[in-house]
Amino acid sequence: MSGNTHFDLWYLFALAGAVLLGAVLPVLPTGAAVSAGAVLASHGNPIGLAGVLLAGALGAYLGDLIVYAGCRFGGERLAKRVGWLRDNASLDALRVRLADHEIGVLLTSRLIPGGRVPVLLAAGLAGYSWERFAVVDLIASSLWAAVYMAIGLLGYALFDEPWQGVLAAIVLVILTTVASGVVQRWRRKKRASDSE
């Protein structure tokens, strides 16, 4: 964030658009984009942190609504065509978990790397209430943006130069994602060995 209001506004629109695109087509590191935005806002215009939080949350929320609508109205066929659906067995397990702990699953799925799309699929394909999803996901998207903004602020606190803070934030996001993946694999192996 430069302190130039015109540039900052376009930056926030670009951030929201990138997060929205990454939420629909999970190929962009959307968490890293929010973290980097927080670092840049902290160096140039600390008031811009609110904008980064809002842009990140709005992009995530709108992207989730699009994916949910696609799953809800397009069904399994669309989910398979887009590449969102891979493993029916885990989808069935998610449906059960969603039925038992719906709010907790929806809130935490946004925070667990790779956990959001399967939960959105399970909710959409199971016909989860649109209104209820919209409310819970608004909270989940805001929480997600706040967590990744906090990672960016940690990068800002560790380094003096903006590029160093951005790099540190991206590394922290990658480490968080890798650690989460390792824990998820370990839990799956443990469940598989317990069920044998």
Distance CA 148, CA 53 (A): 9
Q: Cβ contacts of residue 48 below 8 Å, gap of 6+?
A: 1, 8, 12, 40, 41
Q: What is the mean pLDDT of residues 165-179?
A: 70
Q: What's the predicted TM-score (pTM) here?
A: 0.76
What span, in angstroms and rounded, lies between the C-alpha atoms of 109 and 121?
11
How many residues would you count in the chain? 196
CB 63 within 8 A of CB 103: no
- 180 or 85, higher pLDDT: 180
pLDDT in tens, 117-139: 778 877 887 778 889 889 999 99
pLDDT band at 84 (very low <50, low <70, confident <90, very high): low
